[in-house]
Amino acid sequence: MRELVKCTACGQVHRIGQCKLTQKPKKARGPKKPRPTATQRGYDADWLDLQRRFIKQNPRCAYCGQKAELVHHRIPVRQWPAGRLRWDNLISVCRKCHGKAHRKTATRTLATNMAGRL
């Protein structure tokens, strides 16, 4: 249980982070759009066949050397749709490294977007 403290903003006693004066207002969001299906996102029978063949030829994660379970696009399909089925745009990865690669890409995209606003 969090301890009660006297708030420096309002002078009341409550748990840390519970002051109504210091909480940021929540952004209003519209209705959430459903995510397109895997097929709609381009992961169709052609992709599944290519993925199977690629992992067979490249069975180890390109980052850590563990057993590869997934195939990752070096350049995201959103940025280069023509590279979706290009062998030279693929790397085999384990699940852990695949998550790291996506977090790194998301961080880089966020940084790029923020730099454009300055």
Residues 6-51: pLDDT tens digits? Answer: 888 888 888 877 777 777 777 777 788 888 888 888 889 999 999 9
Predicted TM-score (pTM) of the model is 0.62
**Residue 105: is it exposed, middle or buried by C-beta count within 10 angstroms (0-12/13-18/19+)?**
middle
In the numeric block, the tokens 């409550």 are attached to 14
Number of residues that make up the chain: 118
What is the pLDDT at residue 112? 53
Q: What H or E segment, with its residue span, contains residue 93?
A: strand 90-93
In terms of average pLDDT, the best of 6-10, 67-71, 106-110 is: 67-71
d(CA 17, CA 47): 47
pLDDT of residue 117: 45
Distance between CA 40 and CA 91 in Å, rounded? 22
